[in-house]
A and B are shown apart, each in its own frame.
Chain A
Amino acid sequence: SQQGEEDPQALSIQEGENATMNCSYKTSINNLQWYRQNSGRGLVHLILIRSNEREKHSGRLRVTLDTSKKSSSLLITASRAADTASYFCATDVGGDGRQLTFGSGTQLTVLP
């Protein structure tokens, strides 16, 4: 099974609402990264959180990491229609960014 597993698999919300996506993983990691993929495009890096960090912010994004539970969450506040995309977590065990294991992704739909 994959190192990172996101839930829910799909999420549909209204514009302006917050969206929360979760990621669980199995082994110890150096860092965890979140990526976004718009339909028909490549993945784009959003944010990286190191194993010694608990929370990180970037604009409307808030990421938490709980290494004791081996889980992370991505919160998008005040969502917009343009946030509609698939979101993937990726675990980095070695810490050098060369061996990322991607989860199966959460498809987020933000309705205008």
Chain B
Amino acid sequence: DAGVIQSPRHEVTEMGQEVTLRCKPISGHNSLFWYRQTMMRGLELLIYFNNNVPIDDSGMPEDRFSAKMPNASFSTLKIQPSEPRDSAVYFCASTKGGLAGREQFFGPGTRLTVL
């Protein structure tokens, strides 16, 4: 299995630009998570989907952030417009969940730098 795939691995953009991060979860996993990791705030859950439906987006910092999961094998996290304080590593994770498996599998992350 290829594991969770994220792209791009690195993104450098200028303030005000739109940024789109992409994720392909492990096949057969029905829950997908977007996390943000910074030195100051640690690992924060932004949003998670169950069977492609957003369940909890209370961690999304503000309206500039949006996430979609159009099908079971693809999700995007969009920031528009981006700001320097959005600089962080963004992780996508997936799990089967429930009795089928409670551990989450993380992608390699996207390191975002907003200048």
Contacts and interface: CB of A to CB of B under 8 A. Distances in A.
Taking residues whose C-beta sits less than 8 angstroms from the other chain, chain B's interface range is: 20 to 34
A111 interface: no
A100 interface: yes
B106 interface: yes
With a 10 A CB-CB cut-off, give which of B4, B48, B103, B109 has the most chain A CB atoms.
Answer: B103
Interface string B40-58: 0011010010100001100
Nearest to B111: A40
A74 to B, nearest CB: 15
A53 B49 CA distance: 30
Nearest to A43: B106
Contacts, number: 59
Which among B56, B106, B108 has the highest number of chain A CB atoms within 10 Å? Answer: B106
Contact of B107 (A42, A48, A95, A105): A42
Contact of A96 (B91, B98, B109): B98
Contacts of A98: 31, 48, 50, 55, 95, 97
Interface residues on A, range: 20 to 34
B102 interface: yes
Which interface residue of A40, A42, A48 has the most chain B CB atoms within 10 A? A42
Interface string A69-101: 000000000000000000010001001111111
Interface of A: 2, 31, 33, 35, 40-45, 48, 88, 92, 95-105
Shortest 9 CB-CB distances between A and B: which pairs?
A: A97-B102, A42-B106, A45-B103, A102-B43, A96-B98, A43-B106, A104-B42, A97-B95, A97-B97
